[in-house]
Structure 1
Amino acid sequence: MLGVRQPEVYGHDTLDDVERLCRATGEECGVEIDFRQSDSEAEIMGWIKAARTSAAGILINPAGFTSTSIAILDSLLMFDGPIIEVHISPLFRRDEFRHLSYVSKAATAKIEGFGIRGYAFAINRLADLVG
């Protein structure tokens, strides 16, 4: 629902805009992007576990699972490469319950509040870390 849901918080960019930005940035950095989105916690956990043997790094925007999913945290803790957590909006300026991020406990770095440009920052940093 990116671009439709709460544009005053998340802006007007769509998920397609995010994917285009990620692919273009990945190409500039010489890294392959496996872009995925799901509202299913179990599916996300499966992708993270599969990444253990297929990916050098993970960029994750856990969205609503940020402050609720110990299961995603546990999956990320099994991953040996760098993990960068990205949020379009600044969590520290949002509702108090959003300030807690379980994912941050596994993340190498966290980028928040830069809109979708945060994804480009994260890909550049991941490329540095895995390069």
Structure 2
Amino acid sequence: MARTHKTAHIKAAMAEKERLAKESRRDDIARVQDARTRFERAQALKTVQRSHPRGYRRWKREKSTENTSEERPGDAEAQEDEDENVAESTGVEAKNGSYSADVSEEDVAQTPVAEEPSGRQRQGKGPF
């Protein structure tokens, strides 16, 4: 019976230690996010790196993937279907994600473009 009590006590202590570590990690990461200046942020990041190396790597990985969008295989097809529906209803054709109203490549190629004067011919000050 003494062994069971000792094991239960050790497990409870380990659980409490893990809970405190998670709480500390959350507080340190919150301190990084709440930093107002670069210096405060750098200091908070150093604290997180020293105190919680594994937690910092996991947080950094989550932070880097937070802003990326993942495309699913059906997303491209859904976008094409939506573009076709818009083209049918409005008479405007979608090309490469941008809509153009019945303008061919030949029309664009024949459009005159004003030539810019060379650097020696420019008058005035500055690079522009």
TM-score w.r.t. length of structure 2 = 0.25
Structure having the higher strand fraction is 1
TM-score w.r.t. length of structure 1 = 0.25
Query: Structure with the greater relative contact order (CA < 8 A, sep ≥ 6): 1 or 2?
Result: 1
The structure with the largest alpha-carbon Rg is 2
Structure having the higher helix fraction is 2
